[in-house]
C-alpha cells in the first residue's frame, strides 16, 4: 500500500462514513421538520407496515432495525405514547409481545413516505446512474452483516 493509499482522510471507508453521517443527519432533519418522526421511528413504522398482519415480535423488530432490546423498548414506548404503535401480548406465550402498527401509524407513515423517498432520491439516488446504483448495491452487499436486517422499501 502506498503512502497516499494509507492516508486515512482519502480512503473509501472515511468517505463512506462521512457520506452516511451527512445523509442520515439531513434525512433525519427533514423527516423531523415535516413529519415529527426520527429516521428510527420511520424505520420501525415501515418494517411494521410490510410485516405480515402489520405486526412483529418486538425482539424480531429490534433485530430488523439493528437495535438492542432496550433500544427498541425506548423507541416503541415513544411511538406507543403517540398512538402510532400498540403493544399486543401473545396468547400462547406470555413472554412474547408484539408491536402492532395502528391506523394512526399507517396514516403517519403514508404521509411521510412520499416526501422521505423524494428526499432520498434528491440527496442520494440522483447522484448516480441506475447502473451505478446497482453496482453500489452489489459492492455494499459484499460487506459482512450487510444482510443482517433485510430492508423493506425505504
Contacts of 128 (CB under 8 A, 6+ apart): 136
51 sits in which H/E element: none
Q: Could you tell me the three cell numbers for 105?
A: 401509524
Q: Could you tell me the three cell numbers for 18?
A: 462521512
What's residue 92's pLDDT? 87
Its pTM stands at 0.82
pLDDT, tens digit (0-9, with 9 covering 90-100), for 51-94: 999 999 999 999 999 999 999 999 999 999 999 999 999 888 88
What's residue 11's pLDDT? 87
Distance between CA atoms of 138 and 113, rounded to whole angstroms? Answer: 25
Domain limits, the chain: 8-141
Q: Could you tell me the three cell numbers for 32?
A: 423531523
Distance between CA atoms of 101 and 82, rounded to whole angstroms? Answer: 12
pLDDT, tens digit (0-9, with 9 covering 90-100), for 3-59: 555 566 668 888 999 999 999 999 999 999 999 999 999 999 999 999 999 999 999
Enter the CATH code of domain 8-141.
1.10.10.10
Amino acid at each position: 500500500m502506498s503512502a497516499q493509499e494509507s492516508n486515512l482522510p482519502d480512503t473509501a471507508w472515511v468517505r463512506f462514513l462521512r457520506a452516511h453521517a451527512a445523509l442520515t443527519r439531513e434525512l433525519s432533519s427533514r423527516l423531523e421538520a415535516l413529519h415529527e418522526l426520527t429516521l428510527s421511528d420511520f424505520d420501525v413504522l415501515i418494517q411494521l407496515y410490510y410485516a405480515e398482519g402489520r405486526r412483529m415480535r418486538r425482539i424480531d423488530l429490534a433485530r430488523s432495525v439493528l437495535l438492542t432490546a432496550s433500544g427498541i423498548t425506548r423507541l416503541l414506548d415513544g411511538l406507543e405514547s403517540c398512538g402510532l404503535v400498540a403493544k399486543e401480548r401473545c396468547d400462547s406465550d406470555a413472554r412474547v409481545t408484539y408491536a402492532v402498527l395502528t391506523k394512526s401509524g399507517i396514516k403517519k407513515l403514508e404521509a411521510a413516505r412520499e416526501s422521505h423517498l423524494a428526499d432520498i432520491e434528491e440527496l442520494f439516488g440522483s447522484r448516480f446512474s441506475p447502473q451505478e446504483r446497482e453496482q453500489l448495491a452489489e459492492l455494499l452487499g459484499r460487506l459482512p452483516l450487510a444482510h443482517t436486517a433485510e430492508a423493506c422499501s425505504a
